[in-house]
Structure 1
Amino acid sequence: MFEYVKQWYQRRFSDPDAVTLVLLLVISFLVIMLFGDLLAPILVAVALAYLLEWAIQRVEKLGIPRLSAVALVFTTFLAINIILLVFLVPVIWQQTVALVAELPQMLAQMRVLLERLPELFPEFISEENISTFIDSLTTRTLAFGELLLSQSLSRIIGIMQLMIYFIVVPLLIFFMLKDKHELLHHIHRMLPTNRRLITQVSGEMNQQIMNYIRGKAVEVAVVGIFTYVCFALFDLRYAALLAVLVGLSVLIPYIGAVVVTIPVVMVALFQFGWSGTMAWVLICYLIIQILDGNLLVPLLFSEAVSLNPVYIIAAVLVFGGLWGFWGVFFAIPLASLVKAVLVALSSQSAPVEDAGTKT
């Protein structure tokens, strides 16, 4: 057994570049695990810098110098965020408070509607099943509402910390974009000399991460806007809040769409009851989800590494459990990173295996 492990180690890590790559990944993992909260503003700035870098590259192709391109794209980015902060955030906040306040009434009406199901389908649904389901749903929904409000109040208490984010993160983004080449040069100087595999993996992942962040930003915007238009046409209450939730749900592959369906169904059922209007609202919502998964995602992420849904869900659970929101957001790039590292380690060990076979 020991000899087998020794042969495996020699086969995989005989190359100093492979050892350097593994050590860099381990150190990076430990730093994020231990100092993740302190590094959060930097992670936010890096993600947004990747998003804006794509736009800057497009502006540079028009013959505009990089500094001018950075200033133009960064100013536009700030203007869009200020508009959203002034016009959208207050509406979302008001609708969130109103929705939480109406939860008891909404659940009471839902109880009445659900209690009719045993009369319609006596062979499949009993009154006891409905009663147990409603009690469980009421308890969990009210607990979630209280948690949401308490978290919101705690965020208001920490408003100074939030203001620091609004000041520090934009500054980090600007200087990351402005001094991109200088910062990359400093990073390269700090890396060990045996960095062939690091260069190989980083070169592959750099473009993937940029495409992923850009694609997710576009997907959130498109899904959110179309969902709002759809809900507004039916005059659905809390249309803006639900549209934002549906848009943000695409950040969590597969799981997000399932979770966000619950508030959509609850609001539609509360407002329209068991009616044709409710059915049309849900049909339109289902069409948006289908178009997102089968049309928008393939168009936006055509350059991404193909990953099996099992790996993606596993990555969401593992990295989300380790790093919270950012682990969920970067689940697909992190899974792609693991795949790229495994491919790099396998490819560098292939000549050793072939040589052993020939002898």
Structure 2
Amino acid sequence: MFSVFGRWYERKFSDPDAAMLLLLLVISGVFLLVWGGMVTPVIVAVVLAYLLDWPVAKLEQMNMPRNWGSTLVLLTFVGVSFLVMLGLVPTIWQQSVNLIAELPAIWEKAQVWLTGLPEAYPTMVKNDQIQNLLVGVDEKLVSLGERIISASFSSIFGFAALLIYLILVPLMVFFMLKDKEQLVAQISQILPTQRRLIVQVGQEMNQQIINYIRGKVIEIIIVGTVSVVTFLLMDLRYAVLLGVLVGFSVLIPFIGAAVVTIPIAVVALFQWGISPEFWYVMIAYGIIQVLDGNVLVPILFSEAVSLHPLYIIIAVLFFGGLWGFWGVFFAIPLATLVKALANAWSSPVLSAETEKAES
């Protein structure tokens, strides 16, 4: 057993470049696990810098100095974000408050419907089953309310940190954009000299991450906007809130669409009951999901490495459980990173003479 493992280890990691790649991964993983919470603003800044580097590069190609291009792009991004938040956040907040206030009425109607099931289907549903279900749901709702209250208090204490992030993150993004080449050169000096596989994986992942982040943001905007407009035209209550939820649901492939279906169906059912309007809303929502999965996603992510849906779901569950929101957001790039690492370690080991001749 140990001899088999030893031969496998020697075959995969006898190359110094492979050993250095493994060491870099271990150090990076330990750093993120131990200090990941502290460097969250840096991670957010890196994500935004990835998003904004493309327009800065385009302005630089038009002979605009990078300093001015970085300033113009960052100010435009901050201004547009502020206007969007100014228009959306108050509406979303008000609709969220109204929906929470109506939850008791929605649950009361649901109880009436559930208690009528034993009479409608006496051979399939029993009164004891319905009563146990209602008691269990009531306990869950009480615990959920307690968690919401505690989260509200904790968010008050985190407001000061949010203000700090609003100042520090744009500053970091600006310097990352303005001094990109200088920062990349400094990071390159820190890396070990045996970095052939590190460079190989980095080059393979760089374009993938850029394409994924940019495509995912565009997908959220398009799907969210279309959903809000559709729900408003169909006069669905809490249209803006539900449309924004649909937009952000694309962050979680396959699972997000299924989860968001529940609040949409509940609100439509509470508003109209089992009626043609209810089915119109559900059909419209289904059409949006079909167009997103079969038209929008292939267009936006045509350059991304294709992954089996099973691997994507496993990546979402694993990295989401490990790093929460950001783990879900980067689940596909991280899964692609794992694939790139597997490809790198599966490549034949190069001798020093061969590597020198190739370089």
Scaled by the length of structure 1, the TM-score of the pair is 0.91
Contact 1:215 1:300 in 2 (8 A): yes
Shift of residue 52, structure 1, vs aligned partner: 1.0
Aligned to 2:73: 73
- For the Cα contact (< 8 Å) 1:104–1:142, is it kept in 2? no
Match in the other structure for 1:150? 150
Hey, what's the Cα distance between the residues in 2 that align with 1:58 and 1:118?
A: 66
Alignment gaps of 5+ in structure 2: 352-359
Question: What is the CA–CA distance in structure 2 between the aligned matches of 1:335 and 1:111, rounded to whole Å?
Answer: 43
State the partner residue of 1:165. Answer: 165
1:31 maps to which residue?
31
In structure 2, what is the Cα distance between the partners aligned to 1:293 and 1:232? 22
CA distance in 2, matches of 1:145, 1:57: 48
| CA offset digits 1:78-134 (Å, max 9, x no partner) | 001111232211221121122112111111112234455566666655555555545
C-alpha distance 80-125 of structure 1, shift in aligned 2 (>3 A): farther
Contact 1:113 1:274 in 2 (8 A): no
Q: How far apart are 1:269 and its partner, in Å? A: 1.0
Aligned pairs for 1:174-189 (under 5 A) are 174-189=174-189
Matched AA of 2:226: F
**1:48–1:315 distance in 2 versus 1, CA, 3 Å:** same
Q: CA RMSD in A?
A: 2.0
- Note if 1:196 corresponds to 2:199: no
Deviations 1:278-332 (A, max 9, x none): 1111111111111111111111111111111111111111111111111111111
Structure 2 residue 221 is the aligned partner of structure 1 residue 256: no
Query: Identity over aligned residues, as a percent?
Result: 54
Q: Is the 8 A contact 1:107 1:138 kept in 2?
A: no
- Which structure carries more relative contact order (alpha carbon 8 Å, separation 6+)? 1
How far 1:68 sits from its partner (Å)? 2.3
Name the CA distance, whole Å, in 2 between partners of 1:309 and 1:3. 35
Pairwise CA distance, 1:140: 3.3
How far has the Cα of 1:149 moved from its partner? 4.3
After TM superposition, list the pairs within 5 Å mapping 1:14-53 onto structure 2: 14-53=14-53
SS, match of residue 237 in structure 2: coil
Q: Any residues of structure 2 matched to 1:156-305 within 5 Å, and which?
A: 156-305=156-305
Kept in 2: contact 1:55–1:73 (CA 8 A): yes
Structure 1 unaligned runs (5+)? 352-359
Distance (Å, rounded) in 2 between the aligned partners of 1:216 and 1:315: 16
How high is the TM-score relative to the length of structure 2? Answer: 0.91
Structure 2 SS opposite 1:269: helix
Aligned equivalents of 1:197, 1:297: Cα separation in 2: 30
SS at match of 2:38: helix
8 Å CA contact 1:251–1:328 kept in 2: the answer is: yes
Alpha-carbon distance in structure 2 between the residues aligned to 1:120 and 1:277: 24
Asked if the contact 1:46/1:173 (under 8 Å) is kept, the reply is: yes
| Separation of aligned partners in 1, 2:62 and 2:295 | 30
**Deviations along 1:8-34, whole A, 9 cap, x unmatched?**
111111110000001001100000000
Paired residues, number: 351
- Kept in 2, the 8 Å contact 1:117–1:125? The answer is yes
